[in-house]
Amino acid sequence: MDRQVEVALWSGRFEEAPDAFAHRFGASLETDKAMAMQDIAGSIAHAHMLAAQGVISDEDASAIVDGLGAIRGEIEAGEFAWDSADEDVHMAIERVLTERIGAPGARLHTGRSRNDQVATDIRLLAKDLCGQLMEANVSLRQALLDAAEANQNVILPGYTHLQHAQPVSLAHHLLAYYWMLTRDFTRMKFARMAADASPLGAAALAGTTYPIDRQKTTDELGFSSAMPNSLDAVSDRDYLLDLEYACSVCAMHLSRLCEEIVLWSSTEFGFITLSDAWSTGSSIMPQKKNPDFAELVRGKTGRVVGSLVGLIVTMKGLPLAYNKDLQECKEGAIDAAVTVADCLRVAEGMISTWHVNAEAMLAASGTGFTAATDVADYLAKKGMPFREAHEVVGKLVLECEKRGIGLEDLSLEDFEAASALFGPDIVGTLDPAAIAAARNSFGGTGTQAVMEQIELARRTLESDQSQIR
């Protein structure tokens, strides 16, 4: 039988040690290691507060803080001896501390429970994870903004239903993802705000009779406030739902971006060439250059969304206050945050190193009758009701399809036969670059509108960068 199972810190009421398999089933040590630093920070703050309130002596507090500092250094150096017999990171650290410093270590848990201890650790970790996500987010947005600035004059076909629709600038296209990610940043920021309240001092569920000072630990740990209800403090995991939702939406946006990278790098499109550093080859086909990393980002979206759904289902039937089900809240949230942060970095790597094939994009933007709307607008601006103009141009497109040509291949006589309003200047209406450049309504793909959008994006990015820490 495992030694540590026999001397579990809660074993006083029990005559038998837990079954070894049951112990392993109930343990969470491997997942909990991710918040070892947060656990130590929470324990140090708790020890400082207990001493300040006269609950433990200054000497005990000093021994606790020094002991925890030594353990922190060992963990950071990879030298700490974890014992698989320990239930979780909290018990592992407290056990070693008590073995080293004796009675002062046994006094550390005065006035708190693992319930508020765990909740504090997870909230601190969630704040850290949100900060990492926000950093990765602004880095990718910077890469998108740089790519947009470098490709303002590159024209490609805009799509609806994956069919050629109207020409747009590549800058405009990339900025669409920039704004998606800007909204993701806001969700990440609010998830961090949701986690920014201290449950420490709530104890098991009802508070404590010790004269604790919750504001002191709140301030030392960098929380903005203390949670006002002890039941809610130990049982709330809404902030993890907020974190996982932010991750899920961001992963969805990245999946859309990476789907386009997969398409654009294909032979059929040929719009971009990915760097060798962000591509892979085939074990059998020597010619292959695969967008595996874009595909992986797209694929990882499923596991991120799965974590969100898993936590919602876990939480839906829990009565107040703490239930062991809540042990399942950590692994998915940590995995989702780490996965999305990695995906953001992968997307940044691909975009910052790709080669844009501007000629292929421009050639494609002139096919598929992308000028049709502008030809209809041409007639409308000369007085024809737009619905009539729409029909006139629709018939021209049909004629072109029958003849196997594009609108740009029609003669002036062909246009004039369709409507007397057409004149020689219709030819300029068919140029994809001119079509894109002319749409200068706010948020449009026109040259001036895109320049204004880039400036707005730059200011937004600077503001968000200042909010990360």
Kindly tell me the burial class for residue 239, based on how many C-beta atoms sit within 10 Å of its own C-beta (0-12, 13-18, 19 or more).
buried
Kindly tell me the burial class for residue 78, based on how many C-beta atoms sit within 10 Å of its own C-beta (0-12, 13-18, 19 or more).
exposed
**Residue 82 to residues 27, 29, 104, 236: CA-CA distances in angstroms?**
13, 9, 21, 29
**Identity (one letter) of the amino acid at 259?**
E
Residue 355 bridge partners (DSSP): 273
Catalytic residue among 161, 283, 441, 466: 161
Residue 439 CA to residue 445 CA, distance in Å, equals: 6
Residue 264 CA to residue 147 CA, distance in Å, equals: 15
Q: Which residue has the tokens 């309130």?
A: 53
Residue 83 CA to residue 87 CA, distance in Å, equals: 9
Catalytic residue among 57, 84, 266, 282: 282
Residue 392 CA to residue 396 CA, distance in Å, equals: 6
**Among residues 129, 137, 130, 188, which one has the least CA distance to residue 461?**
137
Helix (H) or strand (E) holding 65: helix 58-76
- How far is it between the farthest Cα atoms of the chain? 100
> CA torsion, points 383, 388, 393, 394, in degrees to nearest 10?
170
Secondary structure (DSSP) of 351-368: HHH-EE-HHHHHHHHTSS
Residue 181 CA to residue 68 CA, distance in Å, equals: 39
Let me know if 109 is a catalytic residue.
Answer: no
CB 333 within 8 A of CB 241: no
Let me know if 161 is a catalytic residue.
Answer: yes
Residue 175 CA to residue 347 CA, distance in Å, equals: 14
Residue 190 CA to residue 194 CA, distance in Å, equals: 6
CB 440 within 8 A of CB 448: yes
What are the residue numbers of the active site?
A: 161, 282
